[in-house]
Structure 1
Amino acid sequence: MKSVCRMCHGGCGALIDLENGVPTAIHGDPDNPTSEGYFCIKGKASLDLLHSPDRLTTPLARTGPRGSGSFEPIGWDEALDRICHRLTETIARHGPESVALGQGTDRNYQEWVFRLANALGTPNVVGPAHVCFYPRVMASIMTYGAFTFCDYEGDPEVVLLWGSNKPDTHSDGVIGVKLLRAVERGSRVITVDPRRTRTAARSELHLPVRPGTDCALALGMIKLVVDEGWYDRDFVAEYTTGFDELAEHVREYDLERVAGITGLEPELIRRATRAYATASRACIEAGTGLSQNENSFDTHRAIALLCALCGNLDAPGGDVIWEPMPIEGRRAFPRSDLLPEEQARKRIGGDRHRILSMSGWVAPGDLHRAVVTGSPYPVTSLLLFGSNILASHENTELVRRSLEKLDLVVVCDMFLTPTARYADVVLPVSSWLERDQIVEFNSYIAARRKVATVEGCRSDEEIILALAERLGLARHFFPSVRAALDAKLSGIGLTWEQFTEIGYIRNEKRYRKYRDGGFRTRSGRVDLRHDGLKAMGYEPFPVHRPAPPPDPELPYLMTSAHPRRFYNTEFHQLPTTARRRPAARVTVHPDTAKREGLTDGDEVALFTRAGAREVRMTVRISDSVAPDVVLADAGWWYPGESSLDESLRSSVNHLTSNDRSDVQMGSATMRGLAVGIRRVGPGRG
Structure 2
Amino acid sequence: MIGTLIRLRVNGRDVAARPGTMLLQACRENGIDIPTLCSDPRLKPASSCRLCEVEVAGRERSPCACATPVEEGMEVATHTPALEDFRRAMLTHLAERIPGEDPARLAGKPFRKLLDAYGVEPSGTRKPEAKQPEHPYLDVDLSWCVACGRCVRICDEVQGQNIWTFTGRGADLALAPGLSPGLRESACVSCGACADTCPTGAIEDVSRLAAGLPERWVRTTCPYCGTGCEMEVGVKGGRITEARPVFASPVSRGHLCVKGRYGWGFSDAPDRITEPLIRRNGVWEPATWDEALAAAASALQQARRAGGPSAVGVLASSRSTNEENYLTQKFARLALGTNNVDCCARVCHAPSAAGLGQTFGTGAATNSYADIERAGLLMVVGANPTENHPIVGARIRQRARAGVPLIVIDPRRTELADLATIHLAPRPGTNLPLLQAMASLILGEGLTDPAFLAARTEGLEAYAASLREWTPERVGALCGIEPEAIRRAARLYATTGPAMIFHGLGVTEQRQGTDGVAALAHLALLTGNVGIPGAGVNPLRGQNNVQGSAQMGCEPSRLTGYQKLAQSREIHAQVWGAELPEEPGLNALEMIDAAGEGRLKALLVIGYDPLLSHPGARETAENLNGLEALIVVDLFLTETAKAFGTVFLPAASPFEKEGTYMNGERRVQRVRQVVPPKGGSRTDMAILAALAERLGAGQPFRHPDAAAVWDEARQVWPAIAGISHGRLDQEGGLQWPCPAEDHPGTPVLHAGGFPGGRAAFRPLGWTPSLEVTNGEFPFLLNTGRSLFHFNAATMTGRTRNRELRADDELELHPDDAAELGLSAGDPVHVQSRHGAFTLRTRPTDRVRRGEPFATFHAVAAYVNLATGPGRDTVTGTPEYKVTAVNLRATGDAKVM
Secondary structure in structure 2 of the residue aligned to 1:206:
strand
Letter in 2 for 1:305: H
Which whole-Å CA distance do the structure 1 matches of 2:621 and 2:735 have between them? 44
1:164-204, CA deviations, whole angstroms, 9 ceiling, x for partnerless residues?
12232228xx8434434544665321111111111111111
Residues 409 and 271 of structure 1: is their aligned pair in 2 closer, same or farther, counting only changes over 3 Å?
A: same
Deviation of 1:32 (Å): 1.4
Letter in 1 for 2:867: T
Residues 164 and 342 of structure 1: is their aligned pair in 2 closer, same or farther, counting only changes over 3 Å?
A: same
Match of 2:389 among 155, 170, 175: 170
Deviation of 1:46 (Å): 4.0
Matches within 5 A, 1:54-453: 54-65=271-282, 70-108=283-321, 109-119=324-334, 120-146=336-362, 147-154=364-371, 155-170=374-389, 175-180=392-397, 182-183=399-400, 186-319=403-536, 332=560, 337=569, 343-348=581-586, 362-364=587-589, 366-374=590-598, 378-421=599-642, 422-441=644-663, 442=665, 444-453=667-676
Matches within 5 A, 1:267-666: 267-319=484-536, 332=560, 337=569, 343-348=581-586, 362-364=587-589, 366-374=590-598, 378-421=599-642, 422-441=644-663, 442=665, 444-453=667-676, 454-482=678-706, 483-485=708-710, 487=712, 496=725, 499-500=728-729, 502-505=731-734, 516=752, 518-521=753-756, 524-529=757-762, 541-547=764-770, 549-569=772-792, 570-571=794-795, 573-609=797-833, 613-637=835-859, 647=860, 650-658=861-869, 660-666=870-876
Letter in 2 for 1:130: R
Deviation of 1:142 (Å): 0.9
Which whole-Å CA distance do the structure 2 matches of 1:321 and 1:208 have between them? 20
Secondary structure in structure 1 of the residue aligned to 2:639:
coil
Deviation of 1:7 (Å): 2.9
Which whole-Å CA distance do the structure 2 matches of 1:406 and 1:163 have between them? 36
Residues 229 and 253 of structure 1: is their aligned pair in 2 closer, same or farther, counting only changes over 3 Å?
A: same
1:132-177, CA deviations, whole angstroms, 9 ceiling, x for partnerless residues?
1120111111112013334453411111100112232228xx8434
Q: What residue is the counterpart of 1:359 in the other structure?
A: none
Unaligned 5+ runs, structure 1: 349-361, 530-539, 638-646
Which whole-Å CA distance do the structure 2 matches of 1:87 and 1:583 have between them? 39
Letter in 2 for 1:565: F
Secondary structure in structure 2 of the residue aligned to 1:252:
coil
User: Which has the larger displacement, 443-452 or 394-403?
Assistant: 443-452
Unaligned 5+ runs, structure 2: 1-217, 540-546, 554-558, 737-743
Secondary structure in structure 1 of the residue aligned to 2:625:
helix
Report if the CA contact (8 A) 2:771-2:884 is conserved.
Answer: no
Report if the CA contact (8 A) 1:363-1:665 is conserved.
Answer: no
Which whole-Å CA distance do the structure 1 matches of 2:765 and 2:798 have between them? 43
Deviation of 1:265 (Å): 1.2
Residues 64 and 496 of structure 1: is their aligned pair in 2 closer, same or farther, counting only changes over 3 Å?
A: same
Which whole-Å CA distance do the structure 2 matches of 1:50 and 1:342 have between them? 37
Q: CA RMSD in A?
A: 2.8
Which whole-Å CA distance do the structure 1 matches of 2:843 and 2:230 have between them? 36
Report if the CA contact (8 A) 1:29-1:36 is conserved.
Answer: yes
Which whole-Å CA distance do the structure 2 matches of 1:217 and 1:193 have between them? 11
Report if the CA contact (8 A) 1:59-1:73 is conserved.
Answer: yes
Secondary structure in structure 2 of the residue aligned to 1:627:
coil
Residues 198 and 683 of structure 1: is their aligned pair in 2 closer, same or farther, counting only changes over 3 Å?
A: farther
Deviation of 1:443 (Å): 5.0
Report if the CA contact (8 A) 2:266-2:799 is conserved.
Answer: no
Which whole-Å CA distance do the structure 2 matches of 1:635 and 1:294 have between them? 23
Deviation of 1:254 (Å): 1.0
Deviation of 1:314 (Å): 1.2
Which whole-Å CA distance do the structure 2 matches of 1:333 and 1:189 have between them? 33
Residues 334 and 541 of structure 1: is their aligned pair in 2 closer, same or farther, counting only changes over 3 Å?
A: closer
Residues 551 and 64 of structure 1: is their aligned pair in 2 closer, same or farther, counting only changes over 3 Å?
A: farther
Q: Rg: which structure is higher?
A: 2
Q: Percent identity?
A: 28
Residues 342 and 497 of structure 1: is their aligned pair in 2 closer, same or farther, counting only changes over 3 Å?
A: closer
Deviation of 1:79 (Å): 0.4
Report if the CA contact (8 A) 2:615-2:867 is conserved.
Answer: yes
Secondary structure in structure 2 of the residue aligned to 1:283:
strand
Report if the CA contact (8 A) 2:397-2:416 is conserved.
Answer: no
Deviation of 1:590 (Å): 0.6
User: Which has the larger displacement, 154-163 or 8-17?
Assistant: 8-17
Residues 652 and 105 of structure 1: is their aligned pair in 2 closer, same or farther, counting only changes over 3 Å?
A: farther
Which whole-Å CA distance do the structure 2 matches of 1:152 and 1:57 have between them? 37
Letter in 2 for 1:651: Y
Which whole-Å CA distance do the structure 2 matches of 1:195 and 1:321 have between them? 21
Residues 277 and 511 of structure 1: is their aligned pair in 2 closer, same or farther, counting only changes over 3 Å?
A: farther
Residues 46 and 669 of structure 1: is their aligned pair in 2 closer, same or farther, counting only changes over 3 Å?
A: closer
Q: What residue is the counterpart of 2:149 in the other structure?
A: none
Residues 465 and 592 of structure 1: is their aligned pair in 2 closer, same or farther, counting only changes over 3 Å?
A: same
Deviation of 1:104 (Å): 4.4
Deviation of 1:381 (Å): 0.5
Which whole-Å CA distance do the structure 2 matches of 1:27 and 1:549 have between them? 47
Which whole-Å CA distance do the structure 2 matches of 1:187 and 1:161 have between them? 13
Deviation of 1:602 (Å): 0.6
Name the TM-score, length of structure 2 as normaliser.
0.66
Secondary structure in structure 2 of the residue aligned to 1:419:
helix
1:296-324, CA deviations, whole angstroms, 9 ceiling, x for partnerless residues?
111111111111111101112111799x9
Residues 591 and 184 of structure 1: is their aligned pair in 2 closer, same or farther, counting only changes over 3 Å?
A: closer
Report if the CA contact (8 A) 1:216-1:544 is conserved.
Answer: no
Which whole-Å CA distance do the structure 2 matches of 1:4 and 1:446 have between them? 7
Letter in 1 for 2:505: T
Secondary structure in structure 1 of the residue aligned to 2:366:
strand
State how many pairs are aligned: 632
Deviation of 1:97 (Å): 1.3
Which whole-Å CA distance do the structure 1 matches of 2:747 and 2:452 have between them? 14
Report which structure shows greater RCO (CA 8 Å, sep ≥6).
1
Which whole-Å CA distance do the structure 2 matches of 1:40 and 1:581 have between them? 15
Secondary structure in structure 2 of the residue aligned to 1:456:
coil
Deviation of 1:428 (Å): 1.2
Which whole-Å CA distance do the structure 2 matches of 1:493 and 1:267 have between them? 50
Letter in 1 for 2:225: C
Which whole-Å CA distance do the structure 2 matches of 1:150 and 1:543 have between them? 28
Secondary structure in structure 2 of the residue aligned to 1:399:
helix
Residues 499 and 127 of structure 1: is their aligned pair in 2 closer, same or farther, counting only changes over 3 Å?
A: closer
Q: What residue is the counterpart of 1:41 in the other structure?
A: 258
Name the TM-score, length of structure 1 as normaliser.
0.86
Which whole-Å CA distance do the structure 1 matches of 2:354 and 2:319 have between them? 17
User: Which has the larger displacement, 458-467 or 118-127?
Assistant: 118-127
Deviation of 1:80 (Å): 0.7
